[in-house]
């Protein structure tokens, strides 16, 4: 058992939310940041389109608030929406100070456009915004003597014990147990305050734009520890993921449609968004465009639809989308002259651990920020490029609340070491692979873009069976990252299906043939452990 050095604050996750919190905390506190795998392994590094902020004189906070709530189908909490959107310009300023090289338009920042936005308001670094943001945040964190970055640590569970009692399921959080992925040893990381910033659960679906590690670990850990989880049925599908037999999760940014790209039937060339949303066409909110693409594919038995921007001048296309252009050229597609084959794929987890404006969870000692949370910003469907923004604002909010209340936080008590006395090395790793694939496949087929109660019940049944099998496996064998992820993936799947079964209406991303109408009053789905 390794007992790592104790820090003041433990941050789980090195993406936009975790590093924003860490940098703000490190002004006075010693912060330990843990990441599963590489420090750049989260979604942040892969963000393409950009960050939404009202920066244009012709735009207003009210416009951005309205667009966010229209996309969110009224399920958003207005005070959260105002809280985040009013802090966006300051968040962009801080990123500029950290050296993020946003594209310029003369003396101003260049603003691109994405679906659901009534104005141009997306600041970006070409079509690879996340990479630049992640690099700037990491550089600042690496240079800060108060921050220790520890990659290759897969947190297993939050420590909620009191005086040696492990996993009480109630009470306070004192840190986390984490697997050192290189040595296979389990470490105990104690802290007065813990910030969960572990990203989404996209990999619960067979097709997802999210990176490999998006297995809902933080949501599952918080749920097991006793936190409420909200709106997990609101899984966002992006309309335009590249269709390619080898490259399975490459996103084609919504900004391609923002800069004039058309969606076309691949055989007839019909611009079919006219049949679904004739006013907003390709720039309708994401749920509408994703459902239209799914409908075309299913109705006509297609493998994909076409996204075409070849009517724009080649230089314009190359200048706006250099990363995508180059990636596609490598696959034999020249987007300046040819359409791009695309399909919908899971993209973002709108639900998560319930937090307030101070980023507090239900458990004292535990704050949460970013994609693992449900803060009230996104409602039933996230507006494009509002997610990174939420990470910056809530990462800072968590840090502020911790610092404001520091004197009331007590030191961790004695906590038991991780107990490995009753487990052995697995001789049946195939169980993990089999179950992982099975979950992702039935979630795609039964809990996808268009749902029915019967399909959801089928999924619930499969989950029940798998829970026994995975629980048994977890109880007998030493933990590995794959096993930790499988256990969490299954937990996330259960939360999604339970939430979907309990919503008897269609709203935003949750569309069910059995309840096609939208209720007059918007209600959150809140699951209580
Ligand atoms: P992540 O950036 O996902 O980071 C999660 C961190 O937690 C990682 O460091 C990971 O290693 C760590 N972690 C996870 N599990 C564990 C564990 N068990 N133990 C220890 N550490 C753990 N949003 C926008 O606003 N604009 C965009 O243009 C945009 N484009 C996108 C493009 C793609 C392809 C994708 C997938 C998403 C995009 N999004 C975009 C969404 C946005 O990128 C994410 O919502 C956001 O980056 C999430 O940040 P985060 O800090 O919450 O989590
Ligand atoms: C994109 O670039 O299309 C993704 C933007 C987002 O997810 O907010």
pLDDT at 197: 98
Q: 322, 345, 368: which is the final residue of a domain?
A: 345
**Contacts of residue 463, Cβ cutoff 8 Å, sequence gap at least 6:** 439, 490, 493, 494, 497
pLDDT at 164: 47
368 in a structural domain? no
| pLDDT range class, residue 265, cuts 50, 70, 90 | very high
Q: By the 8 A CB rule, do 197 and 218 touch?
A: yes
75 in a structural domain? no
Among the residue ranges 245-254, 267-276, 321-330, 341-350, the one predicted with the least confidence is 245-254
Distance 49 CA to ligand 2 centre (A): 5
pLDDT at 118: 95
Distance 282 CA to ligand 1 centre (A): 25
Residues within a 6 A CB radius of ligand 2? 48-49, 253-255, 384-385, 387
Q: 125-183: per-residue pLDDT in tens?
A: 999 999 999 999 999 999 999 999 999 999 999 998 654 444 444 579 999 999 999 99
440 in a structural domain? yes
Q: 293, 323, 345: which is the final residue of a domain?
A: 345
416 in a structural domain? no
pLDDT at 422: 81
In which residue are the tokens 């912060």 written?
A: 31
Q: 377-395: per-residue pLDDT in tens?
A: 999 999 999 999 999 999 9
Q: By the 8 A CB rule, do 512 and 451 touch?
A: yes
Residues within a 6 A CB radius of ligand 1? 12-18, 34-37, 41-44, 46-51, 129-130, 153-155, 197-199, 209-210, 213, 217, 251, 348, 370-371, 385-388, 391
Distance 148 CA to ligand 1 centre (A): 20
pLDDT surpasses 90 at 488: yes
Please state whether the predicted TM-score (pTM) of the whole model is above 0.75. yes
| pLDDT range class, residue 100, cuts 50, 70, 90 | very high
Which of 43, 47, 131 maximizes ligand 2 atoms within 8 Å of its Cβ, making it the mutation to test the pocket? 47
Q: 321-332: per-residue pLDDT in tens?
A: 999 999 999 999
Distance 478 CA to ligand 2 centre (A): 38
Q: Is the dihedral of CA 275, 279, 282, 288 positive or negative?
A: negative
pLDDT at 468: 92
pLDDT at 163: 42
Report the alpha-carbon distance of residue 379 to residue 377 in Å, rounded. Answer: 6
pLDDT surpasses 70 at 1: no
The CATH number covering residue 327 comes to: 3.90.700.10
pLDDT surpasses 50 at 427: yes
Rounded average pLDDT over 108-129: 95
In which residue are the tokens 């939208």 written?
A: 518
Closest-approaching ligand to the CA atom of 346: 1
pLDDT at 402: 98
| pLDDT range class, residue 4, cuts 50, 70, 90 | low
pLDDT at 5: 58
Nearest CA, atom 25, ligand 1:
385
17 in a structural domain? no
Rounded average pLDDT over 218-241: 96
505 in a structural domain? yes
pLDDT surpasses 60 at 230: yes
Closest-approaching ligand to the CA atom of 88: 1
pLDDT at 121: 97
* 244 plus 339 within the same structural domain: yes
Cα 503 to Cα 405, 511, 514: the distances in Å are: 37, 10, 11
pLDDT surpasses 60 at 293: yes
Distance 198 CA to ligand 1 centre (A): 7
pLDDT at 423: 84
Report the alpha-carbon distance of residue 206 to residue 445 in Å, rounded. Answer: 9
224 in a structural domain? no
Closest-approaching ligand to the CA atom of 198: 1
Secondary structure in 3-state letters for 400-452: HHHHHCHHHCCCCCCCCCCCCCCCECCCCCHHHHHHHHHHHHHHHHHCCCCEC
User: What does pLDDT average to over the chain?
Assistant: 94
In the chain, how many domains are there? 2
Distance 387 CA to ligand 2 centre (A): 9
The pairing of beta strand 153-158 with beta strand 175-180: antiparallel
381 in a structural domain? no
pLDDT at 504: 98
Q: By the 8 A CB rule, do 369 and 80 touch?
A: no
The pairing of beta strand 352-354 with beta strand 31-34: unpaired
Q: 323, 345, 367: which is the final residue of a domain?
A: 345
Q: 197-218: per-residue pLDDT in tens?
A: 999 999 999 999 999 999 999 9
Q: Which atom of ligand 1 is nearest to the CA of 249?
A: 34
**Contacts of residue 363, Cβ cutoff 8 Å, sequence gap at least 6:** 158, 160, 171, 172, 173, 222, 225, 226, 227
Which of 123, 211, 253 maximizes ligand 2 atoms within 8 Å of its Cβ, making it the mutation to test the pocket? 253
The CATH number covering residue 520 comes to: 1.20.58.100
Report the alpha-carbon distance of residue 415 to residue 188 in Å, rounded. Answer: 9
Q: Give the active site residues.
A: 286
Domain of residue 485: give its range. 429-527
The pairing of beta strand 104-105 with beta strand 147-150: unpaired
Closest-approaching ligand to the CA atom of 256: 2
Q: 231-256: per-residue pLDDT in tens?
A: 999 999 999 999 998 888 899 999 99
């Amino acid at each position: 058992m390794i007992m790592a050095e104790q820090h003041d604050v433990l941050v789980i996750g090195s993406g936009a939310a975790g590093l924003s919190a860490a940098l703000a905390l490190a002004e006075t506190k010693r912060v330990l940041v843990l990441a599963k795998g590489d420090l750049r392994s989260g979604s942040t590094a892969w963000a393409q389109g950009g960050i939404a902020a009202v920066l244009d004189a012709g735009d207003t906070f009210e416009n951005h608030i309205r667009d966010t709530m229209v996309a969110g189908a009224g399920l958003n909490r207005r005070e959260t929406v105002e809280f985040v959107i009013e802090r966006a310009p300051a968040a962009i300023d801080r990123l500029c100070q950290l050296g993020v090289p946003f594209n310029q338009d003369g003396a101003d920042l260049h603003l691109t456009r994405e679906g659901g936005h009534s104005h141009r308001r997306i600041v970006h670094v070409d079509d690879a915004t996340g990479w630049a943001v992640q690099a700037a945040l990491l550089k600042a964190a690496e240079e800060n003597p108060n921050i220790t970055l520890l990659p290759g640590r897969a947190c297993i569970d939050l420590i909620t014990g009191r005086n040696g009692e492990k996993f009480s399921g109630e009470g306070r959080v004192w840190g986390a147990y984490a697997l050192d992925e290189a040595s296979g040893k389990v470490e105990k990381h104690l802290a007065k305050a813990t910030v969960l910033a572990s990203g989404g659960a996209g990999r619960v679906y067979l097709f997802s734009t999210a990176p490999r590690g998006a297995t809902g670990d933080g949501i599952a850990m918080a749920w097991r520890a006793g936190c409420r989880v909200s709106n997990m049925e609101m899984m966002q599908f992006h309309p335009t993921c590249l269709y390619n037999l080898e490259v399975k999760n490459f996103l084609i940014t919504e900004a391609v449609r923002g800069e004039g790209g058309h969606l076309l039937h691949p055989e007839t060339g019909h611009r079919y968004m006219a049949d679904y949303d004739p006013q907003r066409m390709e720039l309708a909110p994401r749920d509408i465009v994703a459902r239209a693409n799914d409908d075309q594919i299913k109705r006509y038995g297609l493998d994909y639809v076409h996204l075409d921007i070849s009517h724009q001048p080649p230089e314009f296309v190359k200048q706006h989308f250099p990363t995508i252009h180059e990636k596609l050229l490598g696959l034999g597609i020249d987007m300046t002259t040819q359409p791009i084959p695309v399909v919908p794929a899971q993209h973002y987890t709108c639900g998560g651990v319930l937090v307030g404006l101070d980023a507090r969870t239900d458990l004292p000692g535990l704050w949460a920020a970013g994609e693992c949370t449900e803060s009230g910003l996104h409602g039933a469907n996230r507006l494009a490029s509002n997610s990174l923004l939420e990470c910056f604002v809530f990462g800072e909010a968590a840090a502020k609340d911790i610092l404001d209340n520091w004197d009331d936080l007590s030191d961790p008590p004695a906590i038991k070491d991780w107990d490995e006395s009753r487990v052995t090395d697995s001789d049946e790793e195939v169980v993990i692979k089999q179950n992982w694939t099975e979950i992702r496949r039935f979630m795609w087929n039964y809990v996808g873009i268009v749902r029915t109660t019967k399909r959801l019940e089928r999924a619930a049944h499969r989950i029940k069976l798998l829970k026994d099998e995975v629980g048994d496996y977890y109880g007998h064998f030493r933990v590995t990252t794959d096993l930790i992820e499988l256990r969490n993936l299954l937990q996330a799947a259960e939360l999604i299906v339970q939430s979907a079964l309990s919503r008897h209406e269609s709203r935003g991303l949750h569309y069910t043939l059995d309840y096609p109408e939208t209720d007059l009053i918007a209600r959150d789905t809140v699951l209580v452990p």
